[in-house]
């Protein structure tokens, strides 16, 4: 079995003077302390990428910085799905007997380490360099295209999307490490400045600095008893121009593989952690996977179903939309919050009796999907 | 404006953009299985054949989705903002990204024009009527 035996994170936001390495080290040390492990106990290390620190072998840079000498180490790249993909590979390594304790860590000084224009241009390269980027496309523009079509096809409204931003902000207000904690209203979301219509500023996640880590072990090493019960992936396209079926972008295919791997179904889930780079991302993923009906995410938010005391508590750390987005660490934060919820360590935002959690990461433009079922044992 | 032939290291993309500068929208058709595809790749993704031919689209189609960009990725593109990026389903059965008249709605019938943007001339779709 693969247990998430320790987690740790820095605060998310603009952290002047931070570097990718300082954030990675702080998060990794916190996770090792939480798991009750020392650097010499770690025999696997997985990381992602950092746009502010391009490097051909980031995993060993981090290992050396920490004093870890792993038997298995390299970086992964699956965009926003990288964090969950790292956890999935860690489970494979632990279940296969190759490693006993795998450190997964993601960090980037994405907000303070570059200009806003640099961040936007780097991320826009998720689009096709010859047939998309030359049109002045940005990540918000790709998701703006998703939003316009999805809203048209299924009857989702601007207010439906705004409600999701409101819930994420409310959750973030209960997490001391969140980037954006001031409450917002749906009216404020819908009146915020246009970015790539129909998406407005408050439909978009912020760019943050931050670091986060988790330790996946073969045996429990600390009081937390949360295991990875199953995982799955799906990758149907890279570029939004090439997505064929907009009602089946790969989220459900990925989730179904994770549920089959875990021997569970959506009805068994009592905590949700779903990627939310934009409000439309969250709506599409929740609806395609089937946690709510088509065009039903907004009404579920309005009804309080995603609240801490709702029947589908969702992203109680505030998600990418309000906890913050520092790249790979943005998506890994969903997994870390799920571990804390299932372990009963979520303090003032603790969900009562959370025992089975579902985590979903989305990379690119609904391009790479990785899903995972976690369980308190 | 940069010459369209300098816009990419990929010879297929260079040829495609050179065609745009002359008002031609290219797409690929497989000479073995007949499948049409966009973007051009030099091989067929439907059957795997290496025998694909570049064809010229009629330039007519339907808006599949459209977004109006108010926050461009660079200061150099700021003078063009706001601009609309659309996914257009061409009548030949392929989908492409392009610029479009920001007033167009999903489902609108459109025809291609060419308009300056950034370092080159880009396809820009306007109402067909």
Give residue-wise pLDDT tens across range A94-115. 999 999 999 999 999 999 999 9
* Domain count within chain B: 1
- Predicted pLDDT at A224: 87
* Cβ(A337)–Cβ(A331) below 8 Å: no
Please state the rounded mean pLDDT for residues A166-188: 98
pLDDT of residue B4 exceeding 50: no
CA atoms within 13 A on the CB side of A375: 16
* CATH (domain of B121): 2.40.50.840
Strand A101-109 vs strand A44-47: parallel, antiparallel, or unpaired? Answer: parallel
Helix axes A158-172, A139-154, angle to 10 degrees: 120
Encoded tokens for B10? 């990929």
Strand B95-100 vs strand B60-69: parallel, antiparallel, or unpaired? Answer: unpaired
**Cross-chain residue pair A131–B95, CB shorter than 8 Å:** no
Closest in A130, A131, A145 to B67, CB measured: A145
pLDDT, tens digit, 9 for 90 and up, residues A263-306: 999 999 999 999 999 999 999 999 999 999 999 999 999 999 99
Residues from chain B contacting residue A124 (CB–CB below 8 Å): 73
Please state the rounded mean pLDDT for residues A156-173: 98
Residues from chain B contacting residue A197 (CB–CB below 8 Å): 67-68, 70
Other CB atoms closer than 10 Å to residue A72's CB: what's the count?
Answer: 15
Encoded tokens for A279? 């409000």
pLDDT, tens digit, 9 for 90 and up, residues A315-335: 999 999 999 999 999 999 999
Return d(Cα B30, Cα A349) in angstroms, integer.
Answer: 57
Least Cα distance to B15 among B56, B61, B59 occurs for B56
Find the chain B residues whose C-beta atoms sit closer than 8 A to any C-beta of A: 7-8, 10, 13, 16-17, 38-39, 64-75, 77, 80, 82-83, 85-87, 95-99, 106, 117-120, 122
Encoded tokens for A148? 């316009």
Residue of A nearest to B123 (CA): A135
* Cβ(A90)–Cβ(A217) below 8 Å: no
pLDDT band of residue B1 (cuts 50, 70, 90) is: very low
- SS3 for B124? strand
**Cross-chain residue pair B77–A136, CB shorter than 8 Å:** yes
Bridge partners of residue A13, in order along the sequence: A209
**Cross-chain residue pair B85–A137, CB shorter than 8 Å:** yes
Least Cα distance to B65 among A198, A104, A103 occurs for A198
Rounded to an integer, what is the distance from CA A73 to the centroid of its chain? 21
Helix axes A139-154, A279-289, angle to 10 degrees: 50
> Phi then psi for A277, rounded to 5 degrees?
-60, -35
- Predicted pLDDT at A125: 87
Least Cα distance to A223 among A44, A7, A39 occurs for A7
Radius of gyration in angstroms for the set of CA atoms belonging to chain B, rounded to a whole number: 15
pLDDT of residue A234 exceeding 60: yes
ipTM for the predicted complex comes to 0.96
Please state the rounded mean pLDDT for residues A253-262: 98
High-pLDDT (> 70) share of chain A, % = 100
Return d(Cα A235, Cα A187) in angstroms, integer.
Answer: 36
- Predicted pLDDT at B129: 76
| Domains of chain A and CATH, by start | 3-113+208-217 (3.40.47.10)
- Predicted pLDDT at A124: 86
Return d(Cα A259, Cα A194) in angstroms, integer.
Answer: 38
Please state the rounded mean pLDDT for residues A237-249: 97
Residues from chain A contacting residue B13 (CB–CB below 8 Å): 130-131
> What range defines the domain where residue B55 resides?
4-127
Residues from chain B contacting residue A241 (CB–CB below 8 Å): 38-39, 87, 95-97
Q: Is the peptide bond before B82 cis (omega within 30 degrees of 0)?
A: yes
- Predicted pLDDT at B6: 58
Return d(Cα A66, Cα A73) in angstroms, integer.
Answer: 13
Q: Who's near A7: CB < 8 A, 6+ residues apart?
A: A30, A31, A34, A212, A213, A214, A215, A336, A339, A340
Other CB atoms closer than 10 Å to residue B56's CB: what's the count?
Answer: 13
pLDDT band of residue B2 (cuts 50, 70, 90) is: very low
Least Cα distance to A211 among A177, A247, A252 occurs for A177
DSSP state of A193: P
- Predicted pLDDT at B111: 98
Please state the rounded mean pLDDT for residues B24-33: 98
> Which one is predicted more confidently, A63 or B5?
A63
Encoded tokens for B106? 């999903």
């Amino acid at each position: 079995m693969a247990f998430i035996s320790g987690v740790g994170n820095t605060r998310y936001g603009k952290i002047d003077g931070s570097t990718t390495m300082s954030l990675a080290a702080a998060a990794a040390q916190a996770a090792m302390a939480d798991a009750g492990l020392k650097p010499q106990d770690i025999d696997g290390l997985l990381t992602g990428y950092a746009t502010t620190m391009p490097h051909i072998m980031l995993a060993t840079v981090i290992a050396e910085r920490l004093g870890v000498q792993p038997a298995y180490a390299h970086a992964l790249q699956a965009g926003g799905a990288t964090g969950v993909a790292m956890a999935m590979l860690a489970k494979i390594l632990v279940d296969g007997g190759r490693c006993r304790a795998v450190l997964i860590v993601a960090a980037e000084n994405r907000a303070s380490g570059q200009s806003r224009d640099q961040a936007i241009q780097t991320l826009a390269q998720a689009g096709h360099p010859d047939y998309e980027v030359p049109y002045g496309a940005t990540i918000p523009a790709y998701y703006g295209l998703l939003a316009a079509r999805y809203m048209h096809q299924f009857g989702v409204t601007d207010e439906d999307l705004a409600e999701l931003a409101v819930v994420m902000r409310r959750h973030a207000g209960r997490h001391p490490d969140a980037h954006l904690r001031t409450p917002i209203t749906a009216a404020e979301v819908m009146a915020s400045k246009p970015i790539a219509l129909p998406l407005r500023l408050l439909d978009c996640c912020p760019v943050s600095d931050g670091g986060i880590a988790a330790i996946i072990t073969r045996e429990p090493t600390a009081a937390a008893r949360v295991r990875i019960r199953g995982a799955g992936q799906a990758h149907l396209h890279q570029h939004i121009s090439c997505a064929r079926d907009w009602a089946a972008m790969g989220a459900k295919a990925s989730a179904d593989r994770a549920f089959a791997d875990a021997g569970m179904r959506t009805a068994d889930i009592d905590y949700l952690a779903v990627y939310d780079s934009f409000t439309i991302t969250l709506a599409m993923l929740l609806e395609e996977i089937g946690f709510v009906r088509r065009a039903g995410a907004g009404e579920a938010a309005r009804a309080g179903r995603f609240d801490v005391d709702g029947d589908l508590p969702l992203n109680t750390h505030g998600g990418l939309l309000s906890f913050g987005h520092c790249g790979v660490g943005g998506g890994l934060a969903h997994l870390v919050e799920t571990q804390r919820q299932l372990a009963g360590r979520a303090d003032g935002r603790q969900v009562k009796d959370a025992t089975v959690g579902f985590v979903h990461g989305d990379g690119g433009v609904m391009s790479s999907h990785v899903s995972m079922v976690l369980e308190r044992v | 404006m940069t010459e369209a032939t300098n816009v990419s290291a990929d010879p297929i993309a260079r040829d495609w953009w050179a065609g745009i500068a002359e008002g031609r929208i290219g797409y690929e058709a497989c000479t073995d299985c007949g499948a049409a595809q966009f973007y051009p790749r030099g091989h067929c993704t439907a059957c795997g054949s290496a025998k694909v031919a570049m064809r010229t689209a009629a330039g007519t189609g339907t808006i599949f989705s459209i977004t109006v960009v108010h926050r461009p990725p660079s200061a150099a593109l700021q003078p063009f903002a706001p601009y609309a990026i659309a996914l257009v389903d061409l009548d030949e059965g392929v989908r492409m990204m392009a610029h479009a008249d920001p007033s167009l709605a999903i489902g609108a019938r459109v025809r291609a024009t060419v308009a300056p943007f950034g370092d080159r001339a880009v396809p820009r779709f306007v109402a067909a009527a």
